[in-house]
Amino acid sequence: MKEKAMFIIGEWYYPAILLVYVLSMISLDVIHPGVFSAAFMLIFWAGLLLFGIMKKDSLKAVSQKLPAVDIIMCLWLLYNILSGLWTVAGSGMPISVYLGELFTTALPMGFYFLGRFSGSRDAFHRNFLLSVALIGVIGIILYVAAPLFYINYLFRLEYISLPDAPTMRVRMHSVIGSTLMGYLSSAAMLSAAHFFIASEGRKGKIMFFFCAFLAFFSNQRAAMVAAIVIVLYMNYLVFFTFHMLPKKFFAAECGALAAGFVGFIVVFHRAFEKVAARLVSLPGAIGQRSDQWVGAANNMFNKWLGNGLGANGHRAIGYTEHLIADGGIAKLYVEMGIIGTSLFVFLMLLILKRGFKNLKKTAPEVGIIIVTLMISIGSNMMSFALAVPVLYYAIGAIAHEAESGEKAE
C-alpha cells in the first residue's frame, strides 16, 4: 500500500501541476507554477528514495544483473547533475542558471523510475490524457471568449506580443503557451492510443482525434507535423502490423478523411491557407535557426564535456552571446558535449530497439519518444518541466516491458 502511494505522487503530477497553471490566472504573484513544480519534484524524488529504501532487497537482486538501459539511464542522469560543476566553473554561469535547469530538465528524468517500476501504465496515461484534454477545453473557451484578464495573463507571461484579442487568437495557448500545448496534445494522442490498442479499438478514439485537433489548434508547426505522423503511425499499426481491424475500415477511413479534408478547405478556406503556410515554412524555420546552433557549437567551453546544464538555455540570457532559444537537440549537444550526447544517443538507440521488439505493448511509448525527438529539433522541449516527465516515463515503461518479456522467456 505504501509502495502504491509513492507511485501515486508521480501518476498525479500532470493533473496537479496543470491545475496550478489554471489557478495561476487568479494571481501569478501568489500562485507560481514554477515554484509548485519544483516543490512537487522534490516530493516525488523523496518518494523515489523511500521506495528504494523499502525495496532495497529486491533492488539489490536486480542490481546483480543490472540491465544496460538502467545503467545508461543512471549515467545520463548523473552526468546532467554533475555538469553543473562546469556550468558554473567552466562556462561562468551563476549557479541560479544551473539550479533552474536542474529542476526542469534533470530531476524530471526521475519519471524513468516511475515507468520502470510502477507496473501498470493505465493510471499515468489516463491522468495525463484527461489533464491535457481538460486544459484544451479551457483553452478553447478562453480563446473564444477572450476575457481581458486572460489576455493580460498571456501578455505578462510573454506568450503574446500585444495585449489584444487578435494577437491572442493567432495561436491557442490555453494556460501553458502554444508550444507546450502543441507538444502535450501530440503526446496525449499516444496516451489515447495506449487505451485504443489495449481495448482492441473499443476505447480512446474520440480522445485521440480531439487531441489531434488541439495539436493543430495550437498553430505550432512541429505539433501539426507530429499529429500527422502519429495518425499515419497508428493506421500502420492498427491495419498492417497488429491487424486489429479489417482493411475495409482503412479504406473507409481514408475516404472519410479525404471528404473531410475537402470539406474543410471549402468551408474554412482561409484557416486551411494559414495551416498550409505554417507547414510549408517549417524547413525555412529550421534553416534560420541552424546559424544559432553552429555559433553555439563553435564556442563551447569543452567539446568533450560541453558547456554544462543550462549554459545555453533561456536562463542564460544576459550571460552568453550564444543562446539556443529553439533547438533542443543542438542545445543538448552544446551543453552535454560529446560524452553526454553519446550517452543520450546510446540510451535512445537501446530503448527504441527494445521498444520495436515488443511493439504491441510499447507502441504508444515508442511514439512518444520519437515525437519528442522530432519536435526537439526545432524547440527546447527537453528543457520544460511539463514535457520531460512524459518522455522519461515512456523510456522507463519500455525498459519495464523489456525486462518482463525477458523474464517470461
Contact 69, 292 (CB under 8 A): no
- The confidence score (pLDDT) of residue 314 equals 87
| pLDDT above 60 (res 57) | yes
C-alpha distances in Å from residue 83, one per residue of 42, 70, 116, 331, 341: 20, 20, 25, 14, 12
Contact 209, 228 (CB under 8 A): no
* Block residue for cell numbers 475500415: 249
- The confidence score (pLDDT) of residue 63 equals 60
- The confidence score (pLDDT) of residue 279 equals 67
First vs last C-alpha separation in the chain? 29
In whole angstroms, what separates CA 217 from the centre of its chain? 18
Q: Which of 92-101, 184-193, 256-265, 365-374 is predicted with the least confidence, judged by mean pLDDT? A: 256-265
Local confidence band at 267 (pLDDT 50, 70, 90 cut-offs): confident
| pLDDT above 70 (res 283) | no
| pLDDT above 60 (res 47) | yes
- The confidence score (pLDDT) of residue 67 equals 84
In whole angstroms, what separates CA 61 from the centre of its chain? 32
Model confidence over 299-313: pLDDT tens digits?
898 999 999 999 999
**Mean pLDDT confidence for 361-388:** 95
| pLDDT above 90 (res 403) | no
- The confidence score (pLDDT) of residue 409 equals 53
